[in-house]
Chains A and B, each alone.
Chain A
Amino acid sequence: MKNEELVSINNLSFSYNKHKVLDNVSLTICKGEYLGVIGPNGGGKTTFLKLILNLIPLQSGSISLFGIPINQFKDWSKIGYVPQRLGQKETTFPATVYEIVSLGYFSKLNLLQKISDAQKNKQIQKAMEIADVWNIRNEMITQLSGGQQQRVFIAKSLVSSPQLLILDEPTVGVDVETQEKFYNFLHHLNTVHNLTLVIVSHDIEVVVNEVNKVACLNKTLICDVPPKQFIQEDYFTQVYGKSRRLLLHNH
């Protein structure tokens, strides 16, 4: 039986001032997948994510989320998003971890909906426990390390119980040990909590080791294959040339 399609992208093209960054990209993301989106700088990865999240308007092609065309899609609580190095902005913002995580509840709410504080707090606590940040709930976000901040932002995304979590370069500037723990945590979310993950990363070696599907974007979709096939068919050389080698290592 075919898995449920959470994201369905057909013939997607996008240009900034006549400069084409995406050309005729088609891709589906199914329930339970852990998709790694890789590609060289300027290959259209971030634009691709922004289009899926409806942060920039469609120009050509179509996107459906949970079977609904994106311009009619309303239930954004089904999708969690952790943007690139959100933590870098947090040098002065005076808020506690709990206050930041509770923002994640917002996508579940509308103004007419009345939900008890107890119910809300329970859901926030659950998300914080999954991300292992409950014990630092009263800390100021500015006092945390980069790795801890990323966990907080993931906890925020988990509050609305999403089915799909999208992360843009989540480990840039994070040390190797913290990175390893972080990817173990993502693996746990994918396998134990059955959360569909999409991760955009420059770190191809790590991504290829962690994910169960690799999508390589360089304006067009070069490949959309399992990691093993990505290595065997040498898609890496096709995109990055022979001067760069893929170093695989096990975590």
Chain B
Amino acid sequence: MNINLLEIFQYGFMVRAILAGLIIGSIAPLIGTFLVAKKYALIADTLAHVSLVGVAIGLFIGINPLYTALAVAMLVAVIIEKLRTDQQLSGETALAIFLSGGLATAIVLLSLSRGFNVDIFSYLFGSIATVNSVDLWLMLLLGVVVAATVVIFYQQLFYIAFDEETAASSGIDVKKLNLLLLLLTAIVVGMAIRVVGALLIGALMVIPVVTASKIAKSFKTALFLSIVISLVSVITGLIVAFYLNLPAGGTIVIVSLLFFGLTLLFKSP
């Protein structure tokens, strides 16, 4: 089999997919590192399921589903944090309710609007061919906003990930920072739907982080290493998917799982 490695760059949709992958691959573990450290990684999956409701609304009213997915994910992030801080529901219970509730609502809304023949699979598992240049610019803008926010609030986010109680006793507004972290998570989730899909974004936010944590010798190294692992997984996954005609989202996650498997093999506990 003669494979031309440059062929991938001859297709506009693949160039856009790679650029989108680079943006998502950088910011997903950036936020994921704080979520994993806080033992709150399931929030990414919950918001991803909920963002499907936004996709359904977008398809129903005929506007770019990326915008509505972002809006719904951010709104629900605020509601979950409110329920958690008011102690009406424990964090875990709130996630369980919204995770299944989000998917159920999305399915009903989609069937009410255009039926299941809508490209629901592309939103569940990603569809790189659907990334247009408007999406790409929006991803770049939001990616810069997310990265800049993390740089500005790095020390505070690190502090609340380590221990909320001592952070609060130092005068840090823990409630506002938790909300900020959830809003950033919602943005990343909304952005990533096109590339890896709602069902797989959680994996991209968690697996590279856990892999990096196993070999890193500090929090900062773990953060940088998780981004490197994620970027290599995204690019390798996209290339492999292109040449072997496989779904990109699933391939990306499998590559990241291979890295995780390697650390388990070569790193003693």
Q: Do A and B come from one complex?
A: yes
Residues of chain A touching chain B, judged by Cβ–Cβ distance below 8 Å, are 53-55, 74, 76-77, 79, 81-83, 86, 89, 92-96, 99-100, 103-104, 106-107, 109, 111, 138, 140, 153, 156, 160
Q: Which of A76, A95, A99 contacts B169 (CB 8 A)?
A: A76
Distance, CA A140 to CA B217, complexed state (A): 7
Chain A proximity mask over B220-243: 1 for CB below 8 Å, otherwise 0:
101000000000000000000000
A55, B163: Cβ atoms closer than 8 Å: no
Distance, CA A94 to CA B223, complexed state (A): 10
Residues in A whose Cβ lies below 8 Å from that of B166: 81-83, 86, 103, 153, 156
B92 within 8 A of A: no
A94, B172: Cβ atoms closer than 8 Å: no
Chain A proximity mask over B101-114: 1 for CB below 8 Å, otherwise 0:
00000000000000
Residues in A whose Cβ lies below 8 Å from that of B2: none
Residues in A whose Cβ lies below 8 Å from that of B172: 106
Nearest CB of chain A from residue B174's CB, rounded to whole Å: 10
Give A105's nearest chain B residue, CB to CB: B155
Distance, CA A99 to CA B216, complexed state (A): 13
B170, A92: Cβ atoms closer than 8 Å: no
Distance, CA A106 to CA B156, complexed state (A): 8
CB-CB under 8 A for A99 and B220, given A76-B170, A94-B213: yes
Residues in A whose Cβ lies below 8 Å from that of B171: 74, 76-77, 107
Nearest CB of chain A from residue B210's CB, rounded to whole Å: 9
A and B contact pairs by CB, cutoff 8 A, 25 listed: A53-B168, A53-B169, A54-B169, A55-B165, A55-B168, A76-B169, A76-B170, A81-B166, A83-B165, A83-B166, A86-B163, A92-B213, A94-B216, A95-B218, A95-B219, A96-B218, A103-B155, A103-B162, A103-B167, A104-B170, A106-B155, A106-B170, A106-B172, A107-B170, A107-B171
Given contacts A55-B168, A95-B219, 13 further A-B contacts (CB under 8 A): A74-B171, A77-B170, A81-B166, A93-B161, A93-B162, A94-B216, A94-B219, A103-B155, A106-B156, A106-B159, A106-B170, A107-B170, A109-B155
A96, B217: Cβ atoms closer than 8 Å: yes
Residues in A whose Cβ lies below 8 Å from that of B169: 53-55, 76, 79, 81, 83
B259 within 8 A of A: no
Give A156's nearest chain B residue, CB to CB: B166
A103, B165: Cβ atoms closer than 8 Å: no
Residues in A whose Cβ lies below 8 Å from that of B219: 93-96, 99
Give A80's nearest chain B residue, CB to CB: B169
Nearest CB of chain A from residue B42's CB, rounded to whole Å: 15
B260 within 8 A of A: no
CB-CB under 8 A for A93 and B37, given A55-B168, A83-B165: yes
Residues in A whose Cβ lies below 8 Å from that of B156: 106
Residues in A whose Cβ lies below 8 Å from that of B165: 55, 81, 83
B67 within 8 A of A: no
Residues in B whose Cβ lies below 8 Å from that of A77: 170-171
Going nearest first, the 8 A-B pairs with the smallest beta carbon separation are: A107-B170, A76-B171, A95-B219, A81-B169, A94-B213, A96-B218, A94-B222, A53-B169
Distance, CA A180 to CA B263, complexed state (A): 40
Which of B37, B165, B170, B217 has the most chain A CB within a 10 Å cutoff?
B170
B window 159-197: CB within 8 A of A:
159, 161-163, 165-172
Nearest CB of chain B from residue A170's CB, rounded to whole Å: 13
Distance, CA A138 to CA B159, complexed state (A): 18
Residues in A whose Cβ lies below 8 Å from that of B222: 94
Residues in B whose Cβ lies below 8 Å from that of A103: 155, 158-159, 162, 166-167
Nearest CB of chain A from residue B167's CB, rounded to whole Å: 8
Give B209's nearest chain A residue, CB to CB: A94
Nearest CB of chain A from residue B135's CB, rounded to whole Å: 33
Residues in A whose Cβ lies below 8 Å from that of B159: 103, 106
Residues in A whose Cβ lies below 8 Å from that of B162: 93, 95, 100, 103
B220, A89: Cβ atoms closer than 8 Å: no
Distance, CA A92 to CA B209, complexed state (A): 12
Give B152's nearest chain A residue, CB to CB: A111
